[in-house]
Amino acid sequence: MTRRQTEAFILRTVDYGDYHVIAHLLGRQTGRFSAIAHGARSSKRRFSGSLEPLRVVEATLTSSRSGDLFRLEELDVVENFPGIDERIETLSAAGYATELTRETWREGEEAQQIFELLREFYRHLPRCPSSESIARLVHQFEFRLLDLYGLAPSIHHCGRCGATAESMDKLRFGRDGQGLICGPCRHGDDAVGIVTAATLSFLCHLDDPDRPLPGDDVDSALAQTGRVLANAIDQLTERPLASRDILRQML
C-alpha cells in the first residue's frame, strides 16, 4: 500500500460503527479527501485529540484496498489557533468558513491556495476585537474564496459590457451574484439591488486591502456587502449552510 503524508485541516468527522471515524480533510498537498481512522473511537490515545477541527495536522495516510477511502494511520498537530473557541462569535465564524470550504471545494482540485486562505483566516480571527471586525474578516474570506473559483462579483465595471462603475447613474448589483449591471445592460427580468457608494468602496477594499474603507455609513455598507456576497455564495453552494444562519444571529 502507498504511504504518504500531507498537512491537512479536519473539515468534519463522522462516527462509523462502534469503533471507527470517517474524517473529511483538506490536504495542502492532496486537496480534499476522506479517510477512515480505524479504532479512533475505542482508543483515545491513538489520535490524542487531533481528530478535531480548527487545527493544522500532519496526516499519515495509506491507500485502502477498496480504493474508496484512504486509511488514516497517524495524526500530529502542527498548528493550533488559540482564542478561536473563547468567544461564540469567533467560533461561529470559524465554523462557517470551514463548512463553506467543505461544501464547495471539490475532491481532486489543487488546494494550496484555499488551504493557505483558511489558515490565514483562522490566524486572524482571534485578533478581531468586535463583531464588526469579525464580519469584515468573514466577508474578505468570502470574496477571496469566490475569486479562487472565478466567481467574485464584478465590482469595478459592468459584468456585461465593461462600463466603469464611475459612469453608472446607479450602482445596480444583480441578485444572481454576477455583480454590477449598468442601466443599458439591465434586462426587464433582471432582479437587482441598488447599493451605496460606501458599499462599493467596501467591496473594493475586500478586493484590494490597500484601498481605504468607507468613512461614512459603515454599518449600512457592511450589511449591503454581506447581501452582495451572499447572492454570489448562493450560486456556489448546493444547499443552505446552517453555519451561515448561526453566524448571522451571532453578528
Do 46 and 163 have their domain in common? no
Do 193 and 219 have their domain in common? yes
* Closest of 105, 103, 76 to residue 6, by C-alpha: 76
Where in the sequence is the domain holding 48, given as residue range(s)? 3-80
Do 149 and 45 have their domain in common? no
pLDDT at 67: 61
Do 131 and 156 have their domain in common? yes
The owner of cell 498537512 is 7
Do 122 and 204 have their domain in common? yes
Q: Choose the final residue of a domain: 47, 80, 113.
A: 80
Do 71 and 152 have their domain in common? no
* 29 or 168: which leads in pLDDT: 168
The DSSP code sequence of the chain is: --EEEEEEEEEEEEEETTTEEEEEEEETTTEEEEEEETTTTT-HHHHTT-SSSSEEEEEEEEE-SSSSSEEEEEEEEEEE-TTGGGSHHHHHHHHHHHHHHHHHSPTTS--HHHHHHHHHHHHHGGG--SHHHHHHHHHHHHHHHHHHHT-PPB-SB-TTT--BGGG-SS-EEETTTTEE--TTT--TT--EEE--HHHHHHHHHHH-TTSPPPSS-HHHHHHHHHHHHHHHHHHH-SS--HHHHHHHHH-
List b or e across 208-241, with b for residues whose CB sees 16 or more CB atoms inside 10 angstroms.
eeeeeebeebeeebbebbbebbebbbeeeeeeeb
* Closest of 51, 34, 33, 32 to residue 42, by C-alpha: 51
Do 74 and 100 have their domain in common? no
Q: How many domains are there within the chain?
A: 2
Q: Choose the final residue of a domain: 80, 109, 134.
A: 80
The owner of cell 466603469 is 164
Do 70 and 163 have their domain in common? no
Q: Choose the final residue of a domain: 64, 80, 96.
A: 80
Q: Roughly what angle, to the nearest 10 degrees, separates helices 197-207 and 218-236?
A: 60
How confident is the model over 155-202, as pLDDT tens digits?
999 999 999 999 999 999 999 999 999 999 999 999 999 999 999 999
pLDDT at 63: 83
The owner of cell 439591465 is 186
Do 60 and 93 have their domain in common? no
Whether 216 and 196 have beta carbons less than 8 Å apart is answered as no
CATH number of the domain where residue 219 is located? 1.20.1440.120
How confident is the model over 117-160, as pLDDT tens digits?
999 999 999 999 999 999 999 999 999 999 999 999 999 999 99
Provide the 10 A C-beta neighbour count for residue 161.
10
Would you say how long the chain is, in residues? 251
| pLDDT tops 90 at residue 2 | no
CATH number of the domain where residue 45 is located? 2.40.50.140
pLDDT at 118: 98
How confident is the model over 73-122, as pLDDT tens digits?
999 999 999 999 999 999 999 999 999 999 999 888 889 999 999 999 99
Task: Find the mean pLDDT for residues 2-29.
Answer: 93
Do 58 and 91 have their domain in common? no
Phi and psi, residue 60, nearest 5°: -105, 125
Do 52 and 100 have their domain in common? no
The owner of cell 471515524 is 21
The overall average pLDDT reported for the chain is: 93
pLDDT at 29: 87
pLDDT at 1: 64
Whether 11 and 69 have beta carbons less than 8 Å apart is answered as no
Do 75 and 192 have their domain in common? no
| pLDDT tops 70 at residue 44 | no
pLDDT at 185: 97
Rounded-to-integer distance, Cα 93 and Cα 9, Å: 16
